[in-house]
Amino acid sequence: MARPVIAIVGRPNVGKSTIFNRIIGDRLAIVEDKPGVTRDRLYGTGEWNGKAFSIIDTGGIELEGEDAIMKSVRMQAELAIEEADVIVFMVDAKAGLTHADDEVAQLLFRSRKPVVLAVNKVDNDNRMDDVYEFYGLGFGAPVPISGSHGLGIGDLLDAAVERLPDPMEPEYDDDVIRVALIGRPNVGKSSLVNSLLGEERVIVSEVAGTTRDAIDTPFERDGQRYVLIDTAGMRKRGKVYETTEKYSVMRAMKAIERADVALVLINGQEGIIEQDKHIAGYAHEAGKAAIFVVNKWDVVEKGDKTMQQFERNIREHFLFMTYAPVVFLSALTKQRLHKLLPVVNHVSNQHAMRIQTHLLNDVVADAVAINPPPTDKGKRLKINYVTQVAVKPPTVVVFVNDPELMHFSYQRYLENKIRAAFDFEGTPIRIYTRRKSEED
């Protein structure tokens, strides 16, 4: 289910990032203690009063040159208008109402998006008098908050969540494989959709970011039904979005949340860049089946080992997704295109696979016999029982004498043994450790 989106907007130095961090706590969209996962505090997820949402921090965008600050403020507001369901407009009680605040307010009024006005740096009761001038912006009663002291955050979330729409999602039968095409701008997502469908169903352009909305395209091939979820792009007006590539992550998140399988498109001609890691990392964190699709392979200069070298590069850059297969193709010429859907079918099956409990326990017992858990301060981990509790992704609970004794390296060892025994290609595996109780 795609989460609704809250965006925090305001001029520089009003405390947007502090409030963002307060709201998400430690729940970053990409958090993984494995090498190769990029951490990015630009976006995250949160929950309040039982309602989950994604949140964007529009801070950190800086432009050089004349009127750089105003350009930055305008860009942030326009991005929020583009992406968000609800906008938190943040101003600064200490600085008072500024011309930049008025500029942002005008943009937000024209957007007709729900806006919650938050007055930050109201650190004590003496600052309450500074709040009143912001009534003049026309967004109703401002919410006084203090990011540094954590005051008023609950009131702010109450107001924002109240305005969020209910998540809407088309309903598909269980046997339909939902495939999200994700990747940075201009890697060929729309071209791949057209090639798979054999017709021009999605507008294709050489200009990055021409896909305007998330497009669901159902089709059937060899008796299997699919839905392609093409990542929404960004409207381009002039040069205002030249430095906004990070926001492709936000649209990728929306598509991933609704998918079974994520196709992580990489531009074979340009190679791997940091942004590819951001996008792939969210698919991993969301527990989706994944395939690396190296597109534009027709224009890559090739030698005897070009493909093997490119795959090695992928493995080195994406150490946290060694389970994901790699498919090389050209959406434009349809070279090797026939190889893609069989891999989609395979990883979808692995993602939904359930292993019988006795088989799972046999594999873990053999793994423990070959490599017993190390001792920790004279205590040794004892694994009592293992069971799979969920699919999509496969999720395993290991019941032990003391969860504190389960070192992450040994947990990874068990994951590798389970993966090797039952394949599980293309899907992450979740392993949780629980203390064995009398009821268990």
- At 175-220, the pLDDT tens digits run 999 999 988 877 888 889 889 988 655 545 444 444 444 568 888 8
Is 234 a known ligand-binding residue? yes
Do β-strands 261-267 and 289-295 pair in parallel, antiparallel, or remain unpaired?
parallel
Is 58 a known ligand-binding residue? yes
The percent of residues above 90 in pLDDT, for the chain, comes to 48
The reported pLDDT for the residue numbered 357 is 96
Is 223 a known ligand-binding residue? no
Is 21 a known ligand-binding residue? no
Please give the backbone phi and psi of residue 161, each rounded to the nearest 5 degrees, phi first: -65, -35
Do residues 247 and 234 lie in contact, with contact meaning Cβ atoms separated by under 8 Å? Answer: yes
Is 48 a known ligand-binding residue? no
Is 188 a known ligand-binding residue? yes
Q: Helices in 25-84 by DSSP H: which ranges?
A: 68-83
Is 41 a known ligand-binding residue? no
Neighbours of 424 (CB within 10 A): 21
Checking if the pLDDT of 431 tops 90, the result is: yes
Based on its alpha-carbon atoms, the radius of gyration of the chain, rounded to whole angstroms, reads 24
Contacts of 210 (CB under 8 A, 6+ apart): 190, 203, 204, 233, 236
Is 186 a known ligand-binding residue? yes
Q: Domains in the chain and their CATH numbers?
A: 5-162 (3.40.50.300), 177-351 (3.40.50.300), 357-435 (3.30.300.20)
Checking if the pLDDT of 45 tops 60, the result is: yes
Checking if the pLDDT of 377 tops 70, the result is: yes
Is 230 a known ligand-binding residue? yes
Is 10 a known ligand-binding residue? yes
The reported pLDDT for the residue numbered 39 is 37
Is 313 a known ligand-binding residue? no
The mean pLDDT value for 234-256 works out to 54
The reported pLDDT for the residue numbered 166 is 77
Is 51 a known ligand-binding residue? no
Is 57 a known ligand-binding residue? yes
Checking if the pLDDT of 307 tops 90, the result is: yes
What separation, in Å, do the N-terminal and C-terminal C-alpha atoms of the chain show? 32
Euclidean distance between CA atoms 11 and 30, whole angstroms: 26
Q: What is the DSSP letter of 338?
A: G
Checking if the pLDDT of 290 tops 90, the result is: yes
> Hey, which of 83-97, 235-249, 314-328 has the most confident mean pLDDT?
314-328
Do residues 355 and 394 lie in contact, with contact meaning Cβ atoms separated by under 8 Å? Answer: yes
pLDDT band at 296 (very low <50, low <70, confident <90, very high): very high
The reported pLDDT for the residue numbered 190 is 83
The mean pLDDT value for 284-298 works out to 95
Please state, rounded to an integer, the average pLDDT across all residues of the chain. 82
The reported pLDDT for the residue numbered 50 is 85
Is 150 a known ligand-binding residue? no
pLDDT band at 224 (very low <50, low <70, confident <90, very high): very high
Is 122 a known ligand-binding residue? yes
pLDDT band at 168 (very low <50, low <70, confident <90, very high): low
Is 264 a known ligand-binding residue? no
Is 260 a known ligand-binding residue? no
For CA atoms 207, 209, 212, 213, the dihedral sign is positive
Task: Look at the pTM and tell me if it is higher than 0.85.
Answer: no
CA separation, residue 362 to residues 5, 383, 419 (Å)? 44, 12, 14
Question: Which comes out higher in pLDDT, residue 390 or 57?
Answer: 390
Euclidean distance between CA atoms 59 and 12, whole angstroms: 7
Checking if the pLDDT of 440 tops 70, the result is: no
Do residues 123 and 94 lie in contact, with contact meaning Cβ atoms separated by under 8 Å? Answer: no
**H-helix or E-strand spanning residue 128:** none
- Nearest CA to 430 out of 316, 260, 235, 285 is that of 285
Please give the backbone phi and psi of residue 295, each rounded to the nearest 5 degrees, phi first: -95, 170
For the ranges 112-126, 207-221, 312-326, 363-377, the lowest mean pLDDT is seen at 207-221
Is 300 a known ligand-binding residue? no
The reported pLDDT for the residue numbered 142 is 94
> Hey, which of 11-15, 185-189, 241-245, 363-367 has the most confident mean pLDDT?
363-367
Angle between helices 357-370 and 408-422 (to 10 degrees): 130
Is 59 a known ligand-binding residue? yes
Is 331 a known ligand-binding residue? no
The mean pLDDT value for 123-135 works out to 87
Is 65 a known ligand-binding residue? no
Is 16 a known ligand-binding residue? yes
pLDDT band at 57 (very low <50, low <70, confident <90, very high): confident
The reported pLDDT for the residue numbered 353 is 96
Is 233 a known ligand-binding residue? yes
Neighbours of 352 (CB within 10 A): 16
Euclidean distance between CA atoms 343 and 341, whole angstroms: 5
pLDDT band at 144 (very low <50, low <70, confident <90, very high): very high
Do residues 385 and 433 lie in contact, with contact meaning Cβ atoms separated by under 8 Å? Answer: no
Is 184 a known ligand-binding residue? yes
CA separation, residue 208 to residues 185, 212, 232, 245, 248 (Å)? 5, 11, 12, 10, 11
Is 353 a known ligand-binding residue? no
Is 40 a known ligand-binding residue? no
Checking if the pLDDT of 438 tops 60, the result is: no
For the ranges 89-98, 120-129, 354-363, the lowest mean pLDDT is seen at 120-129
Is 231 a known ligand-binding residue? yes
Checking if the pLDDT of 40 tops 70, the result is: no
Is 268 a known ligand-binding residue? no
The mean pLDDT value for 298-313 works out to 91
Q: Which residues of 45-79 are buried (b: 16+ CB within 10 A; e: fewer)?
A: bbebeebebbbbbbbebebeeeeeeebbbbbbbbb
Is 391 a known ligand-binding residue? no
For the ranges 28-42, 90-104, 267-281, the lowest mean pLDDT is seen at 28-42
Is 152 a known ligand-binding residue? no
Is 123 a known ligand-binding residue? yes
The mean pLDDT value for 240-260 works out to 65
The reported pLDDT for the residue numbered 17 is 79
Residue type, 38: T
Is 147 a known ligand-binding residue? no
